[in-house]
């Protein structure tokens, strides 16, 4: 397994496991199967209903071709860095600057996919990912992105595990709306709170989480964050 460390806007270094080449290929194959299924369904619906004889070639392109052509741009933009194939493989696109990828970054990845994947049958993408120490294809290099595994790293110091009693009662069920990487970031904040540079991080993190989950905490910031970790560990 290969890992990459990314510094967030809060100056916290978060370590991600890079998505393996095999996972990325399988995700791409899943997406290709979806393309084929969509083509077949659209073709037969238009053919058997006779619509294909009544619409123009332009309309046919808009209905059948355009959704597939824009698939990766739309899904990665509106599905938080994931296509359907990536989601099934638990991998996603992230920005190397520590923030959420911008529309410009997604657009650059999509444009360079024509070179990386479409025109080269994926050969350029495979070679680039294999030799890059950041798991990047050409589109990632231009967009300053990479693809990571969303499953938590298995090394003990990076796991989400915190001790929870069998009769533990969840305080904030809304924690289910946070991702594993969000929880890893919370754990990083708690680990840094005793350092001089991390003193104010729990309060900042708690305030942001309250806004995101639309909840109001009853505890001090650090205690609140630890309870969220316990709640997350006790989710069904």
Q: Is 126 left (phi over 0), alpha (psi -120 to 50) or beta?
A: alpha
- Answer yes or no: do 21 and 53 share one domain: yes
Instruction: Look at residue 157 and tell me whether its pLDDT is greater than 50.
Output: no
Total number of domains in the chain: 2
Q: What is the pLDDT of residue 9?
A: 58
- Answer yes or no: do 71 and 102 share one domain: yes
Q: 79 near 87, Cβ under 8 Å?
A: yes
- Answer yes or no: do 165 and 103 share one domain: no
Q: What is the pLDDT of residue 11?
A: 56
- Answer yes or no: do 20 and 71 share one domain: yes
- Answer yes or no: do 178 and 103 share one domain: no
The last residue of a domain, from among 98, 119, 149: 149
Q: What is the pLDDT of residue 199?
A: 72
Interhelix angle for 201-213 vs 180-192, to 10°? 150
Q: What is the pLDDT of residue 1?
A: 65
- Answer yes or no: do 95 and 203 share one domain: no
**Residue 86 burial by Cβ neighbours in a 10 Å radius (0-12, 13-18, 19+):** buried
- Answer yes or no: do 98 and 184 share one domain: no
Q: What is the pLDDT of residue 184?
A: 83
- Answer yes or no: do 114 and 163 share one domain: no
Dist. CA 204–CA 2, nearest whole Å: 31
Express as a percent the part of the chain with pLDDT over 70.
Answer: 86
- Answer yes or no: do 227 and 165 share one domain: yes
Structure tokens at 101: 């990828």
Range of the domain at 173: 156-233
Tens of pLDDT, residues 39-97: 888 888 877 777 666 676 777 778 888 999 999 999 999 998 999 999 999 999 999 98
Return mean pLDDT, the chain.
86
Give the model's confidence band at 233: pLDDT under 50 very low, under 70 low, under 90 confident, else very high: confident
The last residue of a domain, from among 127, 149, 171: 149
């Amino acid at each position: 397994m290969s890992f990459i460390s990314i510094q967030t806007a809060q100056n916290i270094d978060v370590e991600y496991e890079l998505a393996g080449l095999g996972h990325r290929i399988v995700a791409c194959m899943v997406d290709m199967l979806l393309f084929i299924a969509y083509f077949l369904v659209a073709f037969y619906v238009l053919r058997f209903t006779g619509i294909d004889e009544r619409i123009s070639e332009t309309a046919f392109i808009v209905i059948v071709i355009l959704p597939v052509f824009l698939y990766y741009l739309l899904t990665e933009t509106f599905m938080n860095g994931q296509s359907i194939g990536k989601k099934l493989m638990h991998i996603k696109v992230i920005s190397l600057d520590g923030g959420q990828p911008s529309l410009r970054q997604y657009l650059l990845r999509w444009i360079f996919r024509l070179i990386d994947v479409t025109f080269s049958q994926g050969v350029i993408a495979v070679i680039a990912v294999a030799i890059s120490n950041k798991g990047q294809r050409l589109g990632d290099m231009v967009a300053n992105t990479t693809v990571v595994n969303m499953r938590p790293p298995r090394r003990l110091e990076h796991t989400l595990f915190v001790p929870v009693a069998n009769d533990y009662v969840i305080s904030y069920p809304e924690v289910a709306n946070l991702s594993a990487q969000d929880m890893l970031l919370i754990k990083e904040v708690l680990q840094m709170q005793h350092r001089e540079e991390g003193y104010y991080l729990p309060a900042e993190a708690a305030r942001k989480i309250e806004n995101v989950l639309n909840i109001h905490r009853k505890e001090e910031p650090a205690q609140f964050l630890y309870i969220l970790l316990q709640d997350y560990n006790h989710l069904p």
